Amino acid sequence: MSCKRQAGADALAASAIAAERIEPIPETSDAERVVADVVVIGAPPAVAKRVRDSVPLWFHTFALAPGVYTPGIARDHGYRLAVLGADRFARRSVLDVGAFDGFYSFLAEVRGARRVVAVDNEQYVDWVNARFGVTLTGGVGFRAIAGLLGSRVEYRRMDALDVRELGERFDVALCFGILHRVTDPTALLRALADVLAPGGEIVLETYGSRLATDAPPFEAHEPGDVYARDDFVHWGFSPDGLRRLGRIVGLDDVEVVDQLEIDGHPRILAVLRATQAASDVAAAGLKG
């Protein structure tokens, strides 16, 4: 075989292997539609369908109009709503890190938050391409929904570790599905703790652990251990693990709200705060 033919054959083989690795985009579940109905957008049906079809892949499911939903790929987020009532957001400032399409940013806004800042480094575009073979522009879903809502949520393309650069403090920081994806979870929690206003809190959801209670408080995962074609699930956290991390960064009040399994994977939901004593120590340190 000639060199040109061999090169062509190699290219075809590589393409075939790549195609085999691509997953089909999952269908939206009824459970996600129930969650989506919490944020009622109410766009005209024709506009809703046009916006839905303008984004090649949606992570979050949104109720754009009666019977018109974005086909979000995220699964079973309903359990998070237990910590996202209007009492958590009313008249408060909110930071949402790893916002993706921004469902929780917009939820905070419609539930009365006075200011919401959504942050994402948009690295998910590489994950979407590797897993589903879809080319996605960062922030496209967020901007589409913001336009329909006439939203005032501020979107910043920024890594969660850099939130100090925002130069402001927040009453609530939302951190969903992010902590287990960073190589240094302590650094992320410290960054979020540093931008909390006095009395502020981090509402956190992350990958959990099935280890026994007397086992080490963290699980360390190698690339691909947890999800196929997903090399960025590094950690699993037990309740004790989250409490230890919280104490390291000065958030010594850690309320574990729920532990459950989603599609066969352990998840943990918690709220992290500083007690008054810890806040006083931190304030004294800043003055010194």
Give the pLDDT of residue 75. 79
pLDDT value of position 206: 81
> Which pLDDT value is given to residue 232?
53
**For residue 187, is pLDDT > 80?**
yes
- Lowest mean pLDDT: which of 44-53, 142-151, 274-283? 274-283
Res 183 pLDDT > 50: yes
The pLDDT confidence band at residue 193, using thresholds 50, 70 and 90, is very high
Please say whether the beta carbons of 96 and 221 come within 8 A. Answer: no
Mean pLDDT of 11-31: 65
Specify the higher pLDDT residue, 243 or 69.
69
- CA neighbor of 70 nearest in space, from 96, 126, 32: 32
Indicate the SS3 state at residue 234.
Answer: coil
> 96-110, 123-137, 214-228, 256-270: lowest mean pLDDT where?
214-228
User: CA-based angle 272:101:119, to the nearest 5?
Assistant: 50
- Average confidence score pLDDT of the chain: 84
Exposure b/e, 256-276, CB count within 10 A at least 16 = b: beeeeeeeebbbbbbbbbbee
Task: Determine contact, residues 167/225, Cβ cutoff 8 Å.
Answer: no
**What pLDDT, in 10s, does the model give residues 114-143?**
999 999 999 999 989 988 999 999 999 999
Across 150-178, average pLDDT: 97
Looking at per-residue pLDDT, the higher value among 8 and 263 belongs to: 263
Share of the chain above pLDDT 90, in %: 59
What are the structure tokens assigned to 179, written together? 């902590």
CB atoms closer than 10 angstroms to residue 287: 6
Q: What share of the chain in percent tops pLDDT 70? A: 78
How far apart CA 21 and CA 236 sit, in angstroms, is 25
Bridge-based pairing of strands 196-207 and 115-120 is unpaired
Q: What integer pLDDT is reported at residue 10 of this predicted model?
A: 45
Instruction: Determine the 3-state secondary structure of 70 from DSSP.
Output: coil
Mean pLDDT of 169-189: 90
Give the per-residue pLDDT at 14: 37
Lowest mean pLDDT among 5-14, 39-48, 53-62, 122-131: 5-14
Mean pLDDT of 272-276: 83
pLDDT, position 216: 55
Asked whether the predicted pLDDT for residue 255 surpasses 60, the reply is yes
Strand extents, DSSP E, the chain: 63-65, 68-69, 93-97, 115-120, 154-157, 170-176, 196-207, 218-220, 235-237, 253-262, 265-273
* Nearest alpha-carbon partner for 35 in 75, 67, 68, 66: 75
Q: What's the whole-model pTM score?
A: 0.83
Q: Which domains does the chain have, with CATH numbers?
A: 78-287 (3.40.50.150)
